[in-house]
Amino acid sequence: MDILHQENVDHLFQAILSLQTLEECYAFFEDACTIKEIQEIAQRFDVASQLWKGKSYSEINQATGASTATICRVKKCLLYGNSGYRSVLNRISPKENSDV
């Protein structure tokens, strides 16, 4: 059994899918996570978005403050992961000149 695929995680994801507004998202995540956890997830998603747009590591570091290790890890997820970032980015942001 996959360590992540569990009934309680399914329940959490169903709860997230039920959120309908930005305000509901803020309320839920502020209750469920620390501010730092939310900021870290947001930073990784920002890195993914900028990689998707073809930005360089130095441009991303300058814009987000993310370390090169974080940028590299996110790029690896974009290239070889479960397509989680890709599916969302395809929906919200047209792909520009990029190698990911």
- What tens digit of pLDDT does each residue of 61-74 get? 999 999 999 999 99
Work out the number of other CB atoms within 10 angstroms of the CB of residue 89: 21
Residue pointed to by tokens 């620390």: 34
- Quick check: pTM over 0.75? yes
Are the C-beta atoms of 49 and 98 separated by less than 8 Å?
Answer: no
Are residues 26 and 39 located together in one domain of the fold? Answer: no
**How much of the chain exceeds pLDDT 90, in percent?**
86
DSSP E strand boundaries for 1-100: none
Are residues 52 and 20 located together in one domain of the fold? Answer: no
**pLDDT at res. 69:** 97
Can you tell me the mean pLDDT for 85-95? Answer: 87
Per-residue confidence at 3, pLDDT binned at 50, 70, 90? confident
- As a whole number, the mean pLDDT across the chain is 93
Tell whether the model's pLDDT for residue 86 goes beyond 60.
yes
**pLDDT at res. 99:** 65
Per-residue confidence at 4, pLDDT binned at 50, 70, 90? confident
Are residues 40 and 71 located together in one domain of the fold? Answer: yes
Are the C-beta atoms of 65 and 43 separated by less than 8 Å?
Answer: yes
Torsional sign, CA 87, 50, 79, 7? negative
Are residues 38 and 87 located together in one domain of the fold? Answer: yes
Where in the sequence is the domain holding 19, given as residue range(s)? 1-32
Rounded to 5°, the CA angle 20-21-25 comes to 95
Are residues 44 and 23 located together in one domain of the fold? Answer: no
Are residues 53 and 94 located together in one domain of the fold? Answer: yes
- Residue 78 sits in a domain whose CATH number is 1.10.1270.10
Are residues 28 and 48 located together in one domain of the fold? Answer: no
Are residues 7 and 46 located together in one domain of the fold? Answer: no
Separation CA 81–CA 30 (nearest Å): 27
